[in-house]
Amino acid sequence: MKFWLKPALLFFPLVILSGLLCFTARAAENKAFAQWLAAFYPKAHEQGISRAIWETAFAGVVEPYSEVLAKANYQPEFTTEIWDYLDIRVNPLSVAKGEKMDRYYDQTLAEVEKKFGVEKSVLLAIWSMESDFGAIFDKPDRLFYVPRALATLAYGDPKRQKFARTQLVAALKILQAGDVQKEQLTGSWAGAMGHTQFIPTSYLAYGVDMDGNGRRDIWTSIPDALATAANLLHKNGWRTGNTWGYEVVLPASGEQFNEQTKTLAAWQKLGFKRPDGKDYGSADQKAVLKLLAGPRGPAFLMMKNFFVLKRYNNSDFYALAVGLLADRLAGAGGLVGSWPKPPGSLDIEDKIELQTKLQEKGFYAGEIDGNLGDGTKAAIRQFQIQAGLAEDGTPSHDLLQALRK
């Protein structure tokens, strides 16, 4: 007589075996992580970290952050186009928030500007870019305990090992100095901290106690956070009263000069003029031509302050976004030139309206921010199903028209 086990009965042992294997692998990794921590302490001690601070910092830390390693190993499948990057960061919502913060922290901003010579509009733009004016603290799922996050990278990410070890020691020095309590020492997966997102070594180099309470607190003190950002720019050569750069009209064959450096007088002689016809500042100052989307996009002559902004984040996109948002917050207009977007692309106002309409109709519960990510695309697909449209999750003018109806 033959006996046959039902498929369901065969399935349960496999589930149990899989669970045991996962548990064993996790236990092995946790043991290896604990061994790494034990081996690293003497190196930290050599740089002044006491045993008491070490034990305080890692009390209760028994495993690495799996989320941190996942983020560190994630490789985007596409590069964000500059117009999409700017749409998310320089838009009517960020301008409105910045204007509100300008009114609320007017005195603080004025004091920081006076002390460090960095315009308040620039500080507001950085604050917006780095933490959405502190809104990041309302999203605990995006915050990590910094010593554990950096130890995770130092232990498990060969590409960032040297960086993470240096930052870990710096983070422990911050804790040892008493500037912040352990519970407050949170930041991004890579260790950027506070309202203005400083990595630990930069915090130690530029941190400022602006409110005078004896602590450099960029997590809960707005004066300290803004002053720390201003101090970084100031010490890296910020030129008070100067612009970050100029938008220019590209003359015929002007693209051949991309990334070249000349004086403003020389650029003007070559036919590089401002869209509004106004003169440049000091004609003897030097500027670099940048065509961030090729000859079909806006052209810029970047000044010294643009490159100082890159000391905060070494990205042309970042520095341009800060400059453009700062200009808007200072009352200036936006770009005159247009980006070479694909035909039918939505502008930022359309993107915000699309999210708003989806939310009003009950399909979208995320933030209205113009960032058409996975949540927005899933909502689009649900709407398309209900409306009898082709289900592709693609934002378009036709989709927006359907939502308006």
> Region 229-255: what's the mean pLDDT?
97
Give the pLDDT of residue 234.
Answer: 98
Question: How would DSSP label each residue in 32-51?
Answer: HHHHHHHHHHHHHHHTT--H
What is the enclosing helix (H) or strand (E) of 261? strand 261-263
Residue 276 has pLDDT above 60, yes or no: yes
Q: For residue 294, what are the β-bridge partners?
A: 292
What Rg do the C-alpha atoms of the chain give, in angstroms?
26
Side-chain half-sphere CA neighbours of 353 within 13 A: 13
CB-CB neighbours of 269 under 10 Å? 11
pLDDT at site 75: 53
- pLDDT value at position 253? 93
Q: What angle do CA 184, 190, 192 make, to 5 degrees?
A: 50
- Residue pair 374/286 in contact by the 8 Å Cβ criterion: no
pLDDT at 227: 98
CB atoms under 10 Å from CB of 314, counted, come to 10
The average confidence (pLDDT) of the chain is 92
Three state DSSP letters for 183-201: HHCEECCCCCECCCCECHH
Q: pLDDT digit string (tens) for 43-95? A: 999 999 999 999 999 999 999 999 999 888 775 544 689 999 999 999 999 99
Average pLDDT over residues 264-293: 94
| Mean pLDDT lowest among 50-64, 72-86, 133-147, 292-306 | 72-86
- Tell me the Ramachandran region of residue 136: left when phi exceeds 0, alpha when psi lies from -120 to 50, beta otherwise: alpha
Q: Minimum mean pLDDT among 20-29, 108-117, 366-375: which range?
A: 20-29
What domains are defined for the chain?
348-404 (1.10.101.10)
Q: Is 44 exposed, middle or buried (CB count within 10 Å of its CB: 0-12, 13-18, 19+)? A: buried
pLDDT of residue 1 exceeding 50, the answer is: no
Least confident of 17-21, 159-163, 185-189, 393-397: 17-21
Least confident range from 198-202, 288-292, 322-326, 338-342: namely 338-342
3-state secondary structure at position 271: coil
Q: What's the confidence (pLDDT) of residue 142?
A: 86
